[in-house]
Structure 1
């Protein structure tokens, strides 16, 4: 299917009220064969008439009349395309297509003043049998193509709309590139991608996926083993420092877990060492290096006496609880 800026109607030859633009204009003359001044022909038979009317009804919106086909030429380039009028009805009269027009004030004045004498409809047609399929828009113009009431610019047969700007950027084309240029560029990109995908990868830059996954797995396992070993070594050092502080009476057994947690990081262990160096003895030496408590002693050391006092229990009850 192709789109054409096709037929031209002489507005001055149409019935109108004095001082007003015509309410009805002929868009496509009676067929079945429509011939333009430049020799091009199209088919507007009974089937074409039905297709055009059905397409307009199915569209359910008015069809625009603009100046010099701005909707088809200027709008795709981001330029203004204001409406000169709107067509709200289509009718077949004596095998010709007519449209009912509501003009804008400016366009109506231009038509009355004969500043614009012709209208040129844009339509889609079947490229095989050249049958007209649907109306697209209408443009005010002064360069008619068809005799009678059919308007159009004398120009190449198809009106090529610009491809979307985003697509042009991706393909490395200018925004005014044609469909054929876009297809050629896309085909070239596809061929280049296919060629790259078929190339044998260089082993000095790439490795098989299985080898890569195995290497990553080994590296991950090694990192985990190293982290575990470092954590175990650090824990052993912390336990040693905590035991030494207990033996020296610098900390109490009740706070041992707190200090152990604070030493979970290397910076915390360093701070604990500095604390132990500067701290006075707060408890009697634990004697943990000489013997292991069996929980059967009947005497309380100074720290235990303080704890019993703070808890409000007797020394004998504390000894029982400790056992």
Structure 2
């Protein structure tokens, strides 16, 4: 697929200048579109040169209005610097003739004004030498140099301006050759005609929500977006500073104020710690007393022997009353312990079985061992 190229040209036109450094005072006399130092650079609408240019535009005319002006200024180089006004377009001719190109004055993109129905105006900052020339009537015309689209005739960027006395460009380098020294006749779609924005400016705009593509310039809409974001950040910063100042004032006021404390609502830490210690000791003693009472009760109910008391006392101290109570509830009274262990029983009469007679103590031992009296008696008889 073939790439469509846009063709550009370069034009140099002339306008009449007053012959006095006091440009504003001579405006009415010379019937020029001049006011307070502003000079008309290009007319409004369609226009062409006296020598028939532009011959490479289908309509044979250039055209400029407010929208074209806005696009042209956005694409004009040296957005942060000045555009030069020289003598006889020497800025263009210097590479050919090797002569110096002193400036007659300067103007910037911020010193350009579109006036509906009149055209494009600039406000030059003339050098002393240029003012002298104008006062002596040695220069009469201001010639504008601009690039333009050969398809539409729209100016695409401003290059410079010049003081000249040859409004038809008689004897100057041919226009086609001048254009060739500034930009190619056919540009690829890489937009070489568009000045590349400085990288630092792109980095500055990015946090403000404005992303400028490589090789592009900032649009009026992006400028508005950046300005709005910057204004919002400034407002937020001011509000933050005010909030910090208010907080600092309140803090200082609080520090300077004596705070009354009702000591009756508080106790010393040492007293509190001692109370906690005593409560812990009382709680431990209470648990010990409960365990001892429960074990003693079980022993009195003949559920425990004297040898078992220590075991159940330790069980209660280590695992608490709940575990101890559950264990004691499982025990049944020992029948042998219900007898008066201090009572002396008469010896049992011998039997025909040949087994030894069991005493009261023997029966208790048999119960503790979980065997029958006869088996215990047999064991005793074997001795």
Give the TM-score normalised by the residue count of structure 1: 0.43
